[in-house]
Structure 1
Amino acid sequence: MALSHGSAFAQATPAGEIPQQKVNDALRAKLPEEFKTSNKLTSVNSGSFPPYEIVTDTRTMTGASADLTDAIGQLLGVKIEHATVNGLSALLSGIKSGRYQFSMGPVGDFKSRQEANDFVDWVQEYVVFAVQKGNPKHINALDDACGTRIAVQSGGSAEKVIKAQAEKCAADGKPALEVQSYADQPTSILAVRSKRADAFFSSQAPLTYFVQQANGELELAGVGKPNGFDDLFQGAVTPKDSPLSEVLLAAVKELMKNGTYATIMKKWGLENNMISEPGINLAKK
């Protein structure tokens, strides 16, 4: 297991009392028997993805996803433990193989990924750039990235999009786009802060967090632009056709109904990423 660099970007946990959940017997009854017997599930992450996942060691996590898994565990009457692996590919393969039961994520939901896993979508995301203050390279949309050095998280959807853009830059005879792939979010943002990269291309929610932690060194760019993506849903990942998918979906719906979901999202500054209706495999592309 790999340790994340999340502690380098740690902050005090935001204020916000999360209501304690009572065990929902109907939901617990839907759990596969092995988990009712063990009273334990393991959720895997690929390192810090703040403000959703802030990993300080391989089994300790804070953030919106941690609060949500705690609440879901209370509803189901089970303890949800956290495990960390090195990168998104290891996360997806670990779930597919059955080593881990699920990942709360949120992980990007795409049709290609639905072939091997299911997604219980509970947020909507947008993909933008974190750049140095003043945006010296004038990166205001995906097409502006030619001739720049762009950091991305390895194995993520943003990496695929930025690599396609690099090919487009070359085909159009424009200056080369250098793609720098890193194992996790903190290392990627560090490349921008240390000026080894001109921008970090990733989800808006974690980039907003990193910009807030950068003491005025960084800003967001490309906000409000599609940047190579259609509607982007993200959520928990489960093995394909696992009964756990419907259990998690029902649990998220219950937390939406009783107001806990909104409390958690607002606590972590994620109001703009809230989804009105969760679902399984919402992505159409």
Structure 2
Amino acid sequence: MNIHNVLCAAAVAVMISAPAFAQSAPTGAIPEQKVNEALRAKLPEEIKTANKLTSVNSGSFPPYEIVTDTRSMTGASAEMTDAIGQLLGVKIEHATVSGLSALLSGIKSGRYQFAMGPVGDFKSRQEANDFVDWVQEYVVFAVHKGNPKKINSLDDACGSRIAVQAGGSAEKVIKAQAEKCTAEGKPTLEVQSYTDQPTSILAVRSKRADAFFSSQAPLTYFVQQSNGELELAGVGKSNGFDDLFQGAVAPKDSPLSEVLLGAIKELMKNGTYAQIMKKWGLENNMIAEPGINLAKK
């Protein structure tokens, strides 16, 4: 059995028997929303007829998406989704797929209507999808306590073993950095790609990787749940990214994009968005104004 399979099996065992990343859901009920008839009227007829939407996720992405089984989850995105469903007067069901590539292809093919995400918005992804951005994010490292490899920026990663989620924007950046390390004659940067966030962070906690390179919000969550084993590094640095927006994903030019944008604007206007984000410790990731395809690169 290779290292990836060992880690996947270990991650499943950890999440089922003694959740190393488990966290009691923050307290505080989110106000129930009244149906917004103007927004509901803009839904495609097939959705209004079925009276439901299917939101797809690629596995746990805490504190946004914490998958409890294949059809239910908790987290900030789950509460945003619930509120949007109430505004639109439809039931929103959840489906889980393996990895971001499967998520994006599932939406493009029409198998799923949307993903609440948030998923990284990039120009290359906008060719096939619309991103309804509701989060601003930063990409940093989760490292062992004391940061023994002294990874304080992307350039410091040469000579280290870096875990990353497969198919994500961070994987592309860290692979480019690995090529740069080699071209400059620096020690080899070993990239370890894993299907999901829990497996990636487990690689660090088990010391098979020196760091996990990913979005700051989930890494903050994992560090808080590590019993002092981990800390954040590279905070406040660009780390290969410009302004990084993340959002819900819908098929390209779908009328659902404008409906989701309108729903998020309504949740911002009535204070629900801020309440959810603060409840889950995401104050630093709030965006002043949501929009469609905000990424310029």
Task: Give the match for residue 175 of structure 2.
Answer: 163
Residue segments in structure 2 that go unaligned for 5+ positions in a row: 1-7
Structure 2 counterparts to residues 196-275 of structure 1, below 5 A:
196-275=208-287
Q: How far apart in 2 are the matches of 1:193 and 1:10?
A: 15
Q: How many residues align?
A: 284
Q: Which amino acid aligns with 2:72?
A: T
Q: Which amino acid aligns with 1:15?
A: T
Task: Give the match for residue 151 of structure 2.
Answer: 139
Q: How far apart in 1 are the matches of 2:24 and 2:158?
A: 38
Q: How far apart in 2 are the matches of 1:36 and 1:77?
A: 9
2:84 is the counterpart of 1:84: no
Q: How far apart in 2 are the matches of 1:249 and 1:16?
A: 25
* Aligned-pair CA distance for 1:178: 0.1
Task: Give the match for residue 33 of structure 1.
Answer: 45
Q: How far apart in 1 are the matches of 2:154 and 2:77?
A: 29
Task: Give the match for residue 4 of structure 2.
Answer: none
* Identity %, equivalent residues: 87
Q: How far apart in 1 are the matches of 2:25 and 2:186?
A: 45
Residue segments in structure 1 that go unaligned for 5+ positions in a row: none
* Aligned-pair CA distance for 1:60: 1.1
Deviations 1:17-39 (A, max 9, x none): 20100000000000001111111
Task: Give the match for residue 276 of structure 1.
Answer: 288
Structure 2 counterparts to residues 114-153 of structure 1, below 5 A:
114-153=126-165
Q: What secondary structure sits across from 1:206 in the alignment?
A: helix
**TM-score, normalised with respect to structure 1:** 0.98
2:121 is the counterpart of 1:94: no
Q: What secondary structure sits across from 1:262 in the alignment?
A: helix
* Aligned-pair CA distance for 1:15: 1.1
Q: What secondary structure sits across from 1:269 in the alignment?
A: coil
Q: How far apart in 2 are the matches of 1:249 and 1:279?
A: 7
RMSD of equivalent CA atoms = 1.3
* Aligned-pair CA distance for 1:57: 1.1
Deviations 1:183-213 (A, max 9, x none): 0000000000000000000000000000000
Q: How far apart in 2 are the matches of 1:268 and 1:113?
A: 27
* Aligned-pair CA distance for 1:11: 1.3
Q: How far apart in 2 are the matches of 1:126 and 1:98?
A: 30
Q: Which amino acid aligns with 1:143?
A: D
